[in-house]
Amino acid sequence: MKTRAAVRVLITAFSIAVSSTVWSAPHGFVMSAGVDDEAIANGYYATIDPLNQRTTQADFLEVNGFNDPVNEVVVAKGHFNDGDLQFFRVIKMVEDKRPGYEENYAFSTGNYLTEADALAEVNSVSLVNMEFSPGPNDDRITKFYIYDEGSDTRRISTIFDETNTQLYLPAACYSCHGGDDDEETASPDGYNEGSGETNSSFLAFDVRTMKFFGTSKASLEAAFKKLNQGVLQTDPTKATKKLIKGLYGGSGLPRSTQDVNYIPSSWAGEEELYSDVIVPTCLSCHTTSDSKILRLAWWKNNPKSLREVIFHERLMPDSLPAYNRFWNETNQHEIVLDALNRFEAP
């Protein structure tokens, strides 16, 4: 059974320790939008893939035209996703140009523990794929698929961090990709009344939330731009559109590389808060859900609410690496506390 807000305070607390500092997390991670179970996950797959055409990673690639010469496969691999889950990544995208499949997009994301494994595409931790294509009601929707790290067999759950918590589809993806359905239990009518809709969306590829080691940022910039151009065609949120346009210099994306110094003009006077906290820890996920956090005016008007969520309930950040970074590895929590004190001052 799905539990939304309550799940964040009912899950057994555990501690994260870095150096001599310990902050207790009174919630599970990557659960801000709730949790699903095995029955719901199976019902979700039955709804979005009723003919079982994507039961393996190889099937997913074939169905979505990755193997068809008419399609270009855009590949970016070897970068480190530092913003939330902290995996080395292999991202592949296809804009399907086959007759009858036009305007479909598919992304395959391989998660790896080392850069060498990512570059060789071996020993993946998980394969987490997204597809933007017609759903049961013929309207294009975002769909999620998870595949086994060894056999490429489709899975209904995955583990994102060392807490070893099995997170079931589709809610496993909501914390980062958004989603606001109210599926409580598996339904004979199919997921979300048979629509398969999760109201989720694709994330921007922002190099400021990544790290680069042997694989240089420069070598991936062209691929990242194509990936972001693809994201813009998948009905992303307004916040995601704004972010991508900001990174590439405005409408039409005139820049060939991302502007790593980009700060929305609305954040004037609070550049440190935006650059040192919002970008590395909040931006990725909040572009798809609860995007009011990305507006300085909302911060200034709601400092008490932010203080409650962040400092009292400690419900954010929602991923283990981001939580650890915010509380134990950097002064991000101090920057936020200073800002809230100023915003609350008469």
pTM equals 0.90
Q: Tell me how far the alpha carbon of residue 6 is from its chain's centroid.
A: 22
**Structure confidence at residue 90 (pLDDT):** 98
Nearest one of 65, 110, 113, 74 to 90, comparing CA atoms = 110
* DSSP state string for 176-231: HH-------S--TT-TTTTT------PPP--GGGEE-SSS-SGGGHHHHHHHHHHH
State the amino acid at position 40 in one-letter form: I
Would you give per-residue pLDDT tens digits along the chain (346 residues)? 333 333 333 222 333 333 334 444 445 555 566 677 999 999 999 999 999 999 999 999 999 999 999 999 999 999 999 987 889 999 999 999 999 999 999 999 999 999 999 999 999 988 999 999 999 999 999 999 999 877 788 999 876 655 666 788 998 888 789 887 667 888 999 999 999 999 999 999 999 999 999 999 999 999 999 999 999 999 999 999 999 999 999 999 999 999 999 999 999 999 999 999 999 999 988 999 889 999 999 999 999 999 998 999 887 887 788 888 899 999 999 999 999 999 998 7
Our CA angle for 202, 206, 210, nearest 5°, is 115
pLDDT tens digits for 18-56?
333 444 444 555 556 667 799 999 999 999 999 999 999
In the predicted model, what is the mean pLDDT of the chain? 88
Which position has the token pair 């042997």? Answer: 214
Residue extents of the structural domains in the chain: 7-344
pLDDT tens digits for 188-240?
999 999 999 999 999 999 999 999 999 999 999 999 999 999 999 999 999 99
User: How buried is 54 (Cβ within 10 angstroms: 0-12 exposed, 13-18 middle, 19+ buried)?
Assistant: buried
Contacts 24+ apart (CB under 8 A), 17-22: 17/328, 18/324, 18/328, 18/329, 19/328, 21/327, 21/328, 22/328
Please give the DSSP secondary-structure letter assigned to residue 12.
P
Please give the DSSP secondary-structure letter assigned to residue 320.
H
Rounded distance between C-alpha atoms, residue 159 and residue 30, angstroms: 10
Rounded distance between C-alpha atoms, residue 155 and residue 41, angstroms: 9
Rounded distance between C-alpha atoms, residue 109 and residue 121, angstroms: 11
Length of the chain: 346
